[in-house]
Amino acid sequence: MAQKKEVKLEDIAQELGISIVSVSNALKGKKGVSEKLREKVQKKAEELGYEMKISDDTKIDRKKYYIGIVVAERYIKEFPSFYMDIYKRIAQETTKRGSFTILEIVNEEKEKSCQPLSFFSDETVHGLIIIGEMNEQYIKTVIKMSEVPVVCVDYYGTEQNVDYVVTDSYGGMQKVTQYVIDQGHKEIGFIGNQKATNSIMDRYQGFCKTLMKNRLPERKEWILSDRRSDGYGYQIDFELPEQLPTAFICNCDKSAYLLAEKLQELGYQVPEDISIAGFDYYGYQNKEKMKLVTYENDERAIAQISVSILMRRIEGKHSSGEIRIVEGKFIHGNTVRNLKS
């Protein structure tokens, strides 16, 4: 994976059309910029992934906060775990700011029965980050009982006093689908249960919109569910139809590689016979000679933005109810055949 370019003050200044001095003053909390501009600079810095460098002679009075992190047990049972990686990045970002994280892993029974979080009885928690989609009623209960600022990561709902930081599932899937179409494919299937999570639903809708824009039909027999609809089942599997399209687009890389294995068992070659594209670019990048066409989420930016928003909420510098979409990038691979050549 290519190393991400270091973001500098001049990059932020150029994006906003202001001076480097103004950017520096805004990020360091100095006078000379309005609160409106300061917040605008901070948001742009988060979006670009800027990391504040603190010299040894710079004295910053930082308050220590305890941040509760909640993740469902089903998301970390399998290795590698995207959400555990997000947690580690959030923990690192929190530590940089002189604060601490407390992790609570919630099992299915506790989630379904809406039991309270255990760390609230033992620790003073100043803010909460919920990673991944969970039972809607459970999230509402946690928010109501916690009485602290809450940020949800890779999930969005309708609660007015919560901030949401999500991956660009809708836009990213449009890019993946358009690439497959640009390679000459007109018979395209989708693998993923859109009823299981908001993320899969967004990816499915991005897929459907791109087909519609290109005046291509959505064939129901090529829309395959890969998991349970209730959100709790995380085991991925599906059956292939008798008649196959020329390409499948999968809601995640795990489904994509499972599809490749099923096709190979049936005597098909990827991409010579059937093309495959995925989503997430996580955990399966080095699988043999197959380099999947997919979309990479920016985990680092997700963590930085989530922690920054929560810290500002705790300190009363940020109003709630915002949805932040974090863009990723398209990944070229060798699993989609060019039918035009």
Q: Which residues of the chain have pLDDT under 70?
A: 1-5, 29-32, 52-62, 79, 120-123, 234, 283-288
Bridge partners, residue 223, by sequence: 190
Report phi then psi at 220, rounded to 5.
-60, -35
pTM of the model: 0.78
- Bond into 217 cis (ω within 30): no
pLDDT digits (tens, 9 = 90+) for 246-260: 999 999 999 999 999
Nearest in space to 262 (alpha carbons), one of 80, 251, 273? 273
Q: What is the pLDDT of residue 152?
A: 94
Q: What is the pLDDT of residue 55?
A: 45
Question: Strands (DSSP E) along 202-303, which ranges?
Answer: 223-224, 247-250, 275-277, 294-296
Question: Measured between alpha carbons, how far is 28 from 51 in angstroms, rounded to an integer?
Answer: 12
pLDDT digits (tens, 9 = 90+) for 265-279: 999 999 999 999 999
